[in-house]
Structure 1
Amino acid sequence: MTETYHNYVDGEWVAAETGETFENRNPADRSDVVGEFQQSGVEDAERAVEAAAAASDEWADTPGPERGAILRATSQALEARKDELTETLVREEGKARPEAAGEVQRAIDIFSYYGAKASDIGGTVKSSSSRDTTLYTVNEPVGVAGLITPWNYPIAIPAWKIAPALATGTTVVFKPASAAPNVARKLVECLDEAGLPDGALNFVTGPGRSVGKTFTTHEAVDAVSFTGSSAVGNTVGEQANETGKRVQLEMGGKNPVVVMDSADVDAAVDIAASGAFGVTGQACTATSRAIVHEDVYDEFVSGVVEAAEAIEVGPGLDGADMGPQVNQSELDSTLEYVDVGQSEGATLETGGNAVDVGDGFFVEPAVFSDVEPDMRIAQEEIFGPVLAVLPVSSYEEALDVANGVPYGLSASIVTQDLTEAHDFVAESESGVVKVNEKTTGLELHVPFGGMKDSSSETYREQGDAGLDFYTLSKTVYLNY
Structure 2
Amino acid sequence: MKQDGKLFIDGSWTDGQGAPLTSTNPANGEPIWQGAQASEAQLESALAAAHSAFGSWRRLSVEERFAIIERYAAIAKERQEEMAKLISDEMGKALWDARTEAGAIAGKAAISIEAYHERTPTRNEGAIRLTHRPHGVMVVIGPFNFPGHLPNGHIIPALIAGNTIVFKPSEITPAVAQAMVGWWEEAGLPPGVINLVQGGAAEAGQLIEDKRTRGVLFTGGVKAGLAIHRTLAGHPDKILALELGGNNPLIAWDVADAESAATVIARSAFITSGQRCTCARRLIVPHGAAGDRIIDAVASLISRLAVDRPDADPQPFIGPVVHSKAADAILKAQEELLFHGGEAVRPSLRLDQGSAYVTPGLIDTTRCREVRDEEVFGPLLQVFRTKTFDDAIAKANDTRFGLSAGLLSDDEQLWHRFADQIDAGIVNWNRQTTGASGKAPFGGPGLSGNHRPAGYYAADYCAWPMASMVQEGALNDDAAMPGLVK
TM-score range normalised by the length of the shorter chain: over 0.9
Aligned to 1:99: 97
Q: Is the 8 A contact 2:340 2:369 kept in 1?
A: no
Q: Structure 1 residues 235-244 or 8-17, which shifts more?
A: 235-244
* Counterpart pick for 2:457 among 461, 465, 470: 465
Secondary structure of the structure 2 residue equivalent to 1:479: coil
Offset, 1:194: 0.7
Alpha-carbon distance in structure 1 between the residues aligned to 2:185 and 2:170: 20
Amino acid at match of 2:75: A
Give a deviation string over 1:411-451, Cα, whole Å, max 9, x none: 01112222221222121111111111111121101111121
* Corresponding letter in the other structure for 1:77: I
Deviates more, 1:186-195 or 1:233-242: 233-242
Q: Which amino acid aligns with 1:338?
A: Q
Matching of residues 307-456 of structure 1 within 5 Å: 307-318=301-312, 319-356=315-352, 360-372=355-367, 375-376=370-371, 379-455=373-449
Alignment of 1:259-338 (within 5 A): 259-262=252-255, 264-294=257-287, 295-318=289-312, 319-338=315-334
Deviates more, 1:291-300 or 1:272-281: 291-300
- Amino acid corresponding to residue 83 of structure 1 in structure 2: E
Which residue of the partner structure matches residue 66 of structure 2? 68
Q: Please give the per-residue CA displacement for 1:259-302, whole angstroms capped at 9, x wherever unaligned.
A: 11245423321111101110000111111111012352111011
User: What do residues 130-181 of structure 1 show as CA deviations (whole Å, max 9, x unaligned)?
Assistant: xxxx312101111111111110110010110111101111111110001111
Aligned pairs for 1:41-190 within 5 A: 41-118=39-116, 122-123=120-121, 125=123, 127-128=125-126, 134-190=127-183
Shift of 1:111: 2.1
Once superposed, which parts of structure 1, at least 4 consecutive aligned residues long, lie more than 6 Å away?
none
1:125–1:390 CA distance, 2 compared to 1 (3 A): same
Aligned-CA RMSD value: 1.8
Q: Which amino acid aligns with 2:349?
A: N
Residues 249, 122 of structure 1: CA spacing in aligned structure 2 closer, same or farther, 3 A cutoff?
Answer: closer
Give the conservation status (yes or no) of the 8 Å contact 2:86–2:176. Answer: yes
- Which amino acid is 2:439 matched to? H
Aligned AA (2:334): V
Q: 1:27 and 1:70 mapped to 2: Cα distance?
A: 35
Q: Is the 8 A contact 2:254 2:411 kept in 1?
A: no
Residues 125 and 80 of structure 1: CA distance in aligned 2, closer, same or farther (over 3 Å): closer
| 2: CA distance, partners of 1:188 / 1:262 | 47
Distance 1:120 1:287, change over 3 A: closer
Moved more, 248-257 or 261-270: 261-270
Q: 1:407 aligns to what SS in structure 2?
A: coil
Matches of 1:442 and 1:50, distance apart in 2 = 36
**C-alpha spacing 1:313/1:219, structure 2 compared with 1 (3 Å):** same
Which amino acid is 1:450 matched to?
G
Structure 1 unaligned spans of 5+ = 129-133
Contact 2:116 2:459 in 1 (8 A): no
Q: What is the rounded CA distance, in whole Å, between the counterparts of 1:201 and 1:194 in structure 2? A: 12
Deviation at 1:120, TM superposition (A): 6.1
Contact 2:17 2:36 in 1 (8 A): no
Structure 1 residue 119: Cα displacement: 5.8
Partner deviation per Cα, 1:75-129 (whole Å, 9 max, x = no partner)? 110111111111111111000111100011111110232245556664453644x
**Greater CA deviation, 335-344 or 146-155?**
335-344
Task: Name the structure 2 match of 1:4.
Answer: 4
Query: How far is 1:380 from its partner?
Result: 1.8
TM-score (ref. length: structure 1): 0.94
Q: Distance in 1 between matches of 2:303 and 2:102?
A: 28
3-state SS of paired residue (1:241): coil
CA–CA distance in 2 between the matches of 1:271 and 1:126?
49
Contact 2:139–2:213 at 8 Å: present in 1 too? Answer: yes
Q: Deviations over 1:205-241 (max 9, x none)?
A: 11121x2001211100101111111111101111123
Q: Following the alignment from structure 1 to structure 2, what is the Cα–Cα distance between the partners of residues 71 and 119?
A: 15
Structure-2 residue corresponding to 1:131: none
* Superimposed CA distance per residue, residues 321-358 of structure 1 (whole angstroms, 9 cap, x where no aligned partner): 2111111221110010111121111111113110029x
Does the 8 Å CA contact 2:425/2:443 hold for their aligned counterparts?
yes
Secondary structure of the residue aligned to 1:305 is: helix
Aligned counterparts of 1:151 and 1:465: Cα–Cα separation in 2: 23
Please say which structure displays the higher CA radius of gyration. 2
Q: 275-284 or 108-117, which moves further after superposition?
A: 108-117
* Equivalent residue in structure 2 for 1:196, among 189, 192, 209: 189
Question: Residues of 2 paired with 1:297 and 1:225: CA distance?
Answer: 41
CA distance in 2, matches of 1:81, 1:191: 13
Runs of 5+ unmatched residues, structure 2: 473-486
Indicate if the aligned counterparts of 2:16 and 2:35 stay in contact, CA closer than 8 A. Answer: no
| Cα pair distance change 1:125/1:115, threshold 3 Å | closer
* CA distance 1:121–1:195, shift in 2 (3 Å): farther
Q: CA deviation at 1:64?
A: 0.9
- Which amino acid in structure 1 is aligned with residue 303 of structure 2? E
Paired residue secondary structure (2:455): coil
Aligned to 2:35: 37
Q: Give the SS at the match of 2:131.
A: strand
- Say which SS state the counterpart of residue 154 (structure 2) adopts: helix
Q: What's the offset of the Cα at 1:70? A: 1.1
2:227 maps to what in 1? Answer: 235
In 2, Cα distance between the equivalents of 1:161 and 1:182?
18
